[in-house]
Amino acid sequence: MNVKVNDNVLVIAGKDKGVQGKVLATSPKANTVTVEGVRVQKKHQKARKANETSKIVEIPGPIDASNVKVVCPACGKATRVKHSVVDGKKVRVCACGAVLDKVYSKKAAAKAAVAAEEAPKKRTRKRATTATKTETEQTENK
């Protein structure tokens, strides 16, 4: 199953075809995903305490994982998920080349920032600069 929790997906089949939503839960054994606002079911909820009231709650139901496509955050298109190995880690990739795994993309961005700062900064002595300033001020005052 190529869909993970918190992915944005597009429903491509069924009554809710064309709806985009966030994945709330996955069930790999049953090959189903629960998407926000898709296959909404009504459930009667009984009051459990004296100060509560009974109510009817709308809960999204599970749909088959084959009926959704992951929406790429970079290009914004629904895409089939590809896999590739980047820095020794297997990651999900869009057809446009963007990494779909949010955790890995954050780590990759952090590594790139660290690589940019690899060159050590040239250190200057503060005492030397203040000493030269005070010497020049003293010569000017005389």
Please check whether residue 136 lies inside any domain of the structure.
Answer: no
Do residue 57 and residue 24 come from a single domain? Answer: yes
Please check whether residue 98 lies inside any domain of the structure.
Answer: yes
Do residue 66 and residue 35 come from a single domain? Answer: yes
Do residue 65 and residue 86 come from a single domain? Answer: no
Contact, 68 vs 38, CB < 8 A? Answer: no
Higher pLDDT, 61 or 114: 61
Do residue 66 and residue 102 come from a single domain? Answer: no
Does residue 78 carry a pLDDT above 60? yes
Return the exposure string of 86-106: e unless at least 16 CB atoms fall within 10 Å of the residue's CB, then b: eeeeebbbbeeeebbbeebee
Rounded to two decimals, the pTM is 0.69
Domain with 84 in it: 80-119
Higher pLDDT, 22 or 97: 22
